[in-house]
Structure 1
Amino acid sequence: MNTLSDRIARVLRQDVQSMHAYAVQPSAGFVKLDAMENPFPLPPALQHALGERLGRVAMHRYPAGRVDDLRAALAHHAGLPDDCALMLGNGSDELISLLAMACDVPGATLLAPVPGFVMYAMSAQLQGLRFVGVPLTPDFELDEAAMLAAIERHQPALVYLAYPNNPTGNLWNDEVIERIIQAAPGLVVMDEAYQPFAARDSMARLARWPHVLVMRTMSKFGLAGVRIGYLMGRRELVAEVDKLRPPYNISVLNAEAALFALEHADEYARQAATIRAERERLLAALADMPGVRAYPSEANMILTRVPDAAAAFAGMKRQGVLVKNVSALHPLLDNCLRLTVGTPDENRLMLQALKASL
């Protein structure tokens, strides 16, 4: 009789068996500053109103009309051009997987700067596509010559440009981005997960470039637990990718919560303004720490290089503060921690823990 191990070895893909799952750190009991979440809950009055509203949702029916309402509300919120369309994903992760599936033609390559969001490479691997990572410069800027050479050599079906980038937090030079878009033979996805905290966005590029898609998420808006991502681009292009979307990928509860959030966008805008102000305060405080280099950020995180990231991470964890040690993700990130911007009190505790751990 075959054991379960035998069956797994025989029927599951070998590359899947060799992979490591996406790791999420246990966070109970910690000041949680490791996942770029909005740290602010809704005010009690809005919590009560949302609870009552969700209680009236027709959970016995499949999602339909309210998901259409959410698409329309997000299109209005983003200022979507008339000749463009918007599709929804169960977070950006699902959209990234669907894009890899859509681009799975023989010999296709996906390309992105590295270090970057790990799901770009993982989605390519799971779909059996080649992924080419082009290293950033030591200061985490786009290496224009290397990017253009890689595009010319590999002719990628899809290029990802995170704007701002994760885990480095910075925006890249717009003129360089325009030249990369012009050189790309396939699609270019501007991943704007951290747009609520950035000074610039890519919506104007949708009008200028028909092969550009803009991807956003409501996770950093303040709804990380709701899992709403959205992809915007020319109607005919989005329609092709949308064919791959499962018909009921957005739950009716998630759609209703997202609609409620958009109706109270002023509250989330206030929260984002507080996070931006706290980011600047953190950058100033980190600049005064001997041996610490904090890199410029337009996101709700700050990449910080310390003398010994493993020791600093462990020391901060012992003091009840959880951040992300990204040192192993790429050689350019050697001895780097990624610090999420939290509430003023959380940030005070994080700074204290970092100082004590250096």
Structure 2
Amino acid sequence: MMSTAAALSRIRPDVRAMHAYAVQDAAGMVKLDAMENPHGLPPELRAALGERLGALALNRYPGECVNDLKRALAAHADLPAGWGLMLGNGSDELISLLAMACNVPGAAVLAPVPGFVMYAVSAQLQGLKFVGVDLTPDFELDEAAMLAAIAAHRPAITYLAYPNNPTANLWDEGAMARIIDAVGRQGGLAVLDEAYQPFASRSWIDAIRRDPARHGHVLLMRTLSKFGLAGVRIGYLMGPQTLVNELDKLRPPYNVSVLNCECALFALGYQEVFVAQAADICRQRAIVLAALGAWPRVKVWPSEANMVLVRVPDAAKAFAGMRARGVLVKNVSTMHPLLANCLRLTVGTPDENAQMLAALAASL
């Protein structure tokens, strides 16, 4: 009989050396650690959604509803002419599929760091080299370093999060354009991750529409998580139809459940509700930024997302103090040297933000 130790030896050593993605226990806490929309569905919509979901044929695999959702998302995003759209079980699955599609000997994935951790994780799991290029101390793109890394490594995929996580900023448009052009010249894919688009003042999709020929190698990812449906797990990728057709071959059949699909279709039928929620979050973000900007012991950066990055004298102490006071945020101080003593604060409701600010003040 094979022992557990022997069976473990069959698992790749790099996988065994990894840490699982940690989700913090938020029971009984003001949960401001995961950039979720703090607003739930209005009561009347909850009842309507429950009735709609109750009528579904759960004994059947997802069918035409998936195509209905793709059409609805294409209309919601105003899909550029000649582009296609594919669905993912959240953006995480799309990132994994991209790495799988580009997994050829010697291929690399490149991204600015600090950034979304799943770019590097997906590359590692597929055996791709990951190249991280440090941002500047103010979390702007280091254009010269990015261009040099693209020339040196010729990455199959270059990720540009717009806005970035956890720094919450939109990068300089000129630098973005020159980096995207450089990726195209060496035959790579430029993947623009617009997860936080509902809270940003601009989107790269406008540049794509103005000059589609310049963006034939560009893919644009978005998600309904920040729209207000984090629990529904719907990500979508848009790009030139020929590229999307190839990537869609890797998508598992029925990767989006009929429940998730119908929830998303329902929400897209009430877009005005979620637009109003995003506007409220942006108003609350301004209040939080103004409050933190007046504190002498805290450095705060501008935000174009539903999160705020702050640097405090001692991030571990502040995080523990806030948690002890019932407020859960994200301590990102160990993710990258540029994030030393930084906390990432999700923007919540007025009451949640007041509790967060009070807990942070008491924990400094």
TM-score normalised by L of structure 1:
0.99
Quote the residue 2:239 is aligned against: 233
Alignment-derived partner of residue 4 in structure 2: 4
Corresponding residue of 1:322 = 328
**1:347 pairs with 350, 353, 361, which one?**
353
The residue that corresponds to 1:187 in the other structure is 189
User: How far apart, in 1, do the equivalents of 2:7 and 2:108 lie?
Assistant: 32
Alignment of 1:248-327 (within 5 A): 248-327=254-333
> What do residues 258-280 of structure 1 show as CA deviations (whole Å, max 9, x unaligned)?
00000000000000000000000
The structural deviation recorded for 1:247 is: 1.1
Number of positions where the alignment pairs a residue of Structure 1 with one of Structure 2: 357
One-letter amino acid of the structure 1 residue matched with residue 8 of structure 2 = I
1:124 equivalenced with 2:123 (yes/no)? yes
Q: Which amino acid aligns with 2:76?
A: H
Q: Secondary structure in 2 aligned to 1:328?
A: coil
Amino acid in the other structure paired with 1:283: L
Separation of aligned partners in 2, 1:70 and 1:302 = 32
State the one-letter code of the partner of 1:188: A
- 1:102 paired with 2:101, answer yes
Instruction: Kindly report structure 1 stretches of 4+ aligned residues shifted beyond 2 Å.
Output: 204-208
Q: Which amino acid aligns with 2:85?
A: L
Secondary structure at the aligned position of 1:327 is classed as coil
Q: SS state of the match for residue 161, structure 1?
A: strand
Letter of the 1:192 counterpart: E
Task: State the Cα distance separating 1:204 from its structure 2 match.
Answer: 2.9
Question: In 2, distance between residues paired with 1:2 and 1:193?
Answer: 45
Q: Which residue of 1 aligns with 2:215?
A: 209
Residue of structure 2 aligned with 1:197, choices 177, 196, 199:
199
Q: Secondary structure at the match of 1:26?
A: coil
CA contact (8 A) 1:205 1:212 kept: no
Matches within 5 A, 1:64-213: 64-184=63-183, 185=186, 186-206=188-208, 207=212, 208-213=214-219
* Amino acid across the alignment from 1:84: W
* Residue of structure 1 equivalent to 2:21: 22
TM-score by length of 2: 0.97
The residue identity in structure 1 corresponding to 2:106 is G
Query: What is the CA–CA distance in structure 1 between the aligned matches of 2:173 and 2:68, rounded to whole Å?
Result: 33
Instruction: Please state if 1:33 is matched with 2:35.
Output: no
Code of the residue aligned with 2:182 in structure 1: it is A
C-alpha displacement at 1:5, in angstroms? 2.0
Q: Distance in 1 between matches of 2:270 and 2:126?
A: 38
CA displacement, residues 26-60 of structure 1 (integer Å, 9 cap, x when unaligned): 00100000000000001100000000000111111
Q: By how many angstroms is 1:211 displaced?
A: 0.3
Deviation at 1:289, TM superposition (A): 1.3
> Which amino acid counterpart does residue 295 of structure 2 have in structure 1?
M
Q: Structure 2 unaligned runs (5+)?
A: none
Is the 1:95–1:231 contact (alpha carbons within 8 Å) kept by the matching residues of 2? yes
In the aligned structure 2, how far is the partner of 1:289 from the partner of 1:58? 55
The Cα shift of 1:203 comes to 1.1
Moved more, 178-187 or 197-206: 197-206
SS at match of 1:231: strand
1:55 — aligned with what?
A: 54
Structure 1 position 82, deviation (Å): 2.4
CA RMSD in angstroms, aligned pairs only: 0.7
Inter-partner Cα distance in structure 1 for 2:333 and 2:49: 40
Indicate conservation of the 8 Å contact 1:309/1:335, yes or no.
yes
- Deviation per CA, 1:67-92: give whole Å up to 9, x if none: 10000000000000220000000000
Once residues 32 and 192 of structure 2 are traced to their aligned partners in structure 1, the CA distance between those partners, rounded to angstroms, is 25
| Whole-angstrom CA distance in 1 between matches of 2:57 and 2:173 | 45
CA deviations 1:205-243 (Å, max 9, x no partner) are: 442410000000000000000000000000000000000
Retained in 2: the 8 A contact 1:84–1:233? yes
Letter in 2 for 1:280: A
* Structure 1 counterpart SS, 2:281: helix
Contact 1:88 1:230 in 2 (8 A): yes
Tell me which moved more, 54-63 or 344-353: 54-63
Q: Deviations over 1:267-321 (max 9, x none)?
A: 0000000000000000000011121011110000000000000000000000000
For 1:204 and 1:170, the matched residues in 2 are separated by 18
1:22 aligned partner, one-letter code = Y
Describe the SS at the equivalent of 1:329. Answer: coil
One-letter code aligned to 2:22: A
